[in-house]
Structure 1
């Protein structure tokens, strides 16, 4: 049993614990667990609610509930938290869908089964000495128009008073629930908002409102605020009104390389007419670093990751350069992501599932999670077994680099 984790707080541009010791958060996101994304399971990138609706239409609600519980109970377990701690990491980021906490068609209702998984991960982190950051990956109405916010094709959070109220009430509930949990480093209140530059004030105003809501019950946890345009633009945030705030960015540049959209690119590489290398990343990081120094907040690289091509295209070099930049500019960081079905595009997990059973079926035409409704009743035992991390393969090429920086 680990000792109780000391409370973290912001001091200027650093995060410190109760003794005044600086703590640089380093670890992994647990992507795909409490917020499913198609590519992580070998399928198309469609919203999670579409997948669930198709599953329920095919097999009924009871089987959907059985699938949901089985998947969540097997994909991430306590031994995964022990593994991450054993590697030397001190933090995990936990992406979750608001539908985990409340039912979409019943505003302000509590999904007891869903909240139990957040309780579970918070408890495991406390037991094994890891901090966790709770990351709202899909908000009511959606904060961007993409599938990974489980949207209906529009970002309807910022323009709907009903959605904003649900969002604020959700964070009050979570902050009130976890305000005494030492393992909770803080709240990443909104993943990758994306609105036009002229509407950035809507994001800032919502951040001010949610900060006020959280602080009405939890005065101690850090609040993590992501930039607009997929966590890229920070300047519109200015100086935070709350002095226990961290600003967060994500880094996947150049996306044609990190997501393997342009096959054959080798890092360092030329893309979009410019050269992408450590010097360019240092220049970009310096601009962020200068800004947070000016406004007096720490900086957190909440996501960065790369599609694995068996080490043949400079993936490890890209990761090393990103980590060197983090070290130079004193960035906290979490790698995206811990585990995925191995795929041809999008960032891979540090653990990858390499097999090709019927519920992966990379050759298609139906692949990945789109096969689940057709196979669940017949193959549920084998499917559940395949989701255990011991059946995934560690990407030693990337892992060896990450481990140097823990």
Structure 2
């Protein structure tokens, strides 16, 4: 291919979805990348390297077809691919063995640059955009300080700064008409070259003579080079995003970058950063966490003490420390709505440990900052010329998705991926709905997220909780439907006959025809709700819980609120113990959530902010009870003012104190929502204790005859089935004892004749429950529980008392032995 042909614009590929392509070219607006309709376009990307190495083409083409790999990228939920290339690749042929032409016959006879064209065309046919990244000068693995550290090779008479500018200009002209090539990443990881010594600086402004003097001394201004490159690219191709990365050592913040590049690059500029567990802010010591023993540990600590190297790398920081450092380095650009930041490289291996722990913290922060990203990398197998296998890759060895899923992909999907929908030019209510789907997950995305997590119990349950908490609009919608159906039917539905949310009744016979179409919708979500409850209990049993105070602002009708306050005050005046007891027959109790999972905020400031914005008249402050606590599960959700703590269904709330105040008294941060003439309104603060007392609730409701026939046994069975394996025996024992006590109470109250059939049922269910409890406990080695279950069963009329007692004695002897 001649130089003139390279400069000619290539035609866009055929077979691309026109509706998808209509949203390009992209631009920037404040902190976001936006499409032609002005809606945010999420750069949820992944790196696909190879064109920057000695093979000169993307990895995997020697194993799999280009079509298959591009389809895989789309199926994993990514919307963008960062394609590293070298300047050497632009003028090179394909290396032998780097492409299997039997699987990729369309690539035969093409140059390396033409193969890159086909890669971007194919990605576009799968609705994935491309961003070109000038990764290296020479076709070789990108490492530490070397000849690829700068944007030119100081030892080469060919790969000069001028040649680098010409290469970018050529690419700008070449992809001028390919709107799905949405951006150019000017240079990867700018760093110093040891020989001949050249050191990059960010000068930005200053007299030219100073820049020339520094250049003569070996200091080259990356700001000046990026500005000149951007100007030439905007002349050649004015509608691409321009990504400018920071220098990586020392790794400073972006405080002066935007002032050097804006407003000249307004609506085009994206600033790029890279983060790994082994690097860090400032003058970091790479892989410092591996220096854990002997002289390596001593030298590491000494060098850090002398401030030669930074005190901590990113992987050694706590969640709050890491969040604070990232906010100081680049998060402020997002907070002030200056320009987008793209975390264009970060990654880790799948093995549990130091790196994966950091990755989980880091991805959570990405979600909270709502920042775009590109994971490193898609590739698997041997690194081309880099030594060893690629440990951070996400695919199987055959370049297809892992059948068992991948924990890193699960975390990215859970924290960050927003499933794409086909863009349309919409107005009014349709546009608002489309915007809604830009920040919420579709049913397909939720199902795919769950499937990706099925290989690991922890990830599956965590994902279920996250989806439920994040997409709580589903619960609100179902509860609204349930209320409408309930009102239309006009009959009481058994408490034991509940639907998906726990509050929504199942669809009874005679349901009005208008509601019939939504019945499958409710029924299909019932397993999800069961999974949420099981997840909450599993995490609590695993001691993964949120023990701190949580908050929930509410807007309650004044009449009902006043009745609540009056009854509480009356109970206090009568001398009834309110705060000190956990007995359900004493004190004052609330059931929050309307039969659904009650959620709250872990941040007081966020709760106050929401209260102010929505002018709520109640602030509920929730503390776990001291004797029978119910702990919520805390979810690290992105964004602000979100309910990030969720309680299990069996949680009750005991009132500890009620106080009156005014809204302005709650303002500790000087919120603008409390300003103005209407800034003061009455607020009731209700302090409650979250209590787990399922069996006590069942006993109380049964004693008050507020349960329908068969409902007690059904509820207890549901409770037992949802138990973690190590608690099943305990729950069966407790359920059997509740049924046994209920039968005894009915006999004692003289209603045996009227409800003899129900008493017999209770005794039969109790025997079955206790027998299964003993069996399960023995299998699990819980001999004390087994003994107690057998003795309780022996006390039930109709049981084989002698056999049960003998077995209990044998179990007890085994326990003592």
Q: TM-score scaled by structure 2?
A: 0.36
**Distance (whole Å) between structure 1 residues aligned to residue 58 and residue 124 of structure 2:** 23
What SS does the corresponding residue of 1:101 show, helix, strand or coil? helix
Structure 2 residue 51 is matched with structure 1 residue 34: yes
> 1:135·1:190 contact (CA, 8 Å) conserved in 2?
yes
What SS does the corresponding residue of 2:236 show, helix, strand or coil? coil
Structure 2 residue 394 is matched with structure 1 residue 399: no
What SS does the corresponding residue of 1:339 show, helix, strand or coil? coil
> 1:27·1:92 contact (CA, 8 Å) conserved in 2?
yes
Cα deviation code 1:84-112 (max 9, x no counterpart): 211221111111111111259xxxxxx96
Cα deviation code 1:61-99 (max 9, x no counterpart): xxxx9xx79964546722111112112211111111111
* Equivalence map 1:153-232=2 (5 Å): 155=150, 157=152, 163-195=160-192, 199-201=201-203, 202-229=221-248, 232=251
- Hey, what does 1:280 align to over in structure 2? 321
Q: Which has the larger radius of gyration?
A: 2
Cα deviation code 1:184-211 (max 9, x no counterpart): 1200110000148873331011101110
**More RCO (CA 8 Å, sep 6+):** 1
- Hey, what does 1:370 align to over in structure 2? none
Cα deviation code 1:199-232 (max 9, x no counterpart): 3331011101110110111110100000012694
**Distance (whole Å) between structure 2 residues aligned to residue 299 and residue 391 of structure 1:** 29
Moved more, 314-323 or 344-353: 344-353
**Distance (whole Å) between structure 2 residues aligned to residue 176 and residue 90 of structure 1:** 24
**Distance (whole Å) between structure 2 residues aligned to residue 78 and residue 150 of structure 1:** 36
**Distance (whole Å) between structure 2 residues aligned to residue 78 and residue 224 of structure 1:** 28
Structure 2 residue 273 is matched with structure 1 residue 249: yes
Cα deviation code 1:120-173 (max 9, x no counterpart): 12101211111111111013699xxx8448954774727589511111111111
**Distance (whole Å) between structure 2 residues aligned to residue 94 and residue 153 of structure 1:** 17
The CA deviation at 1:351 is: 2.0
**Distance (whole Å) between structure 2 residues aligned to residue 315 and residue 18 of structure 1:** 39
Structure 2 residue 7 is matched with structure 1 residue 14: no
Shift in CA distance, 176/73, structure 1 to aligned 2, threshold 3 Å = farther
Query: Which among 357, 367, 384 is matched to residue 327 of structure 1?
Result: 367
Cα deviation code 1:7-34 (max 9, x no counterpart): 2110111111000111121121013x21
The CA deviation at 1:261 is: 7.0
Shift in CA distance, 156/294, structure 1 to aligned 2, threshold 3 Å = same
Unaligned runs of 5+ in 1: 37-47, 53-64, 105-110, 354-387
> 1:316·1:401 contact (CA, 8 Å) conserved in 2?
no
Query: Which among 282, 291, 300 is matched to residue 342 of structure 2?
Result: 300
Unaligned runs of 5+ in 2: 1-15, 94-108, 193-197, 204-220, 294-299, 305-310, 418-817
Shift in CA distance, 161/229, structure 1 to aligned 2, threshold 3 Å = farther
* Equivalence map 1:313-392=2 (5 Å): 313=353, 315-341=355-381, 348-351=392-395, 353=397, 388-390=398-400
Shift in CA distance, 258/322, structure 1 to aligned 2, threshold 3 Å = farther
**Distance (whole Å) between structure 2 residues aligned to residue 242 and residue 156 of structure 1:** 20
What SS does the corresponding residue of 1:285 show, helix, strand or coil? helix
**Distance (whole Å) between structure 1 residues aligned to residue 59 and residue 45 of structure 2:** 26
**Distance (whole Å) between structure 2 residues aligned to residue 396 and residue 219 of structure 1:** 39
The CA deviation at 1:316 is: 4.2
**Distance (whole Å) between structure 1 residues aligned to residue 239 and residue 187 of structure 2:** 19
Q: TM-score scaled by structure 1?
A: 0.69
* Equivalence map 1:251-270=2 (5 Å): 251-255=275-279, 262=290
Q: Aligned-pair RMSD on alpha carbons?
A: 3.8
Shift in CA distance, 69/340, structure 1 to aligned 2, threshold 3 Å = closer
**Distance (whole Å) between structure 2 residues aligned to residue 76 and residue 277 of structure 1:** 42
> 1:193·1:226 contact (CA, 8 Å) conserved in 2?
yes
- Hey, what does 1:96 align to over in structure 2? 85
Structure 2 residue 17 is matched with structure 1 residue 2: yes
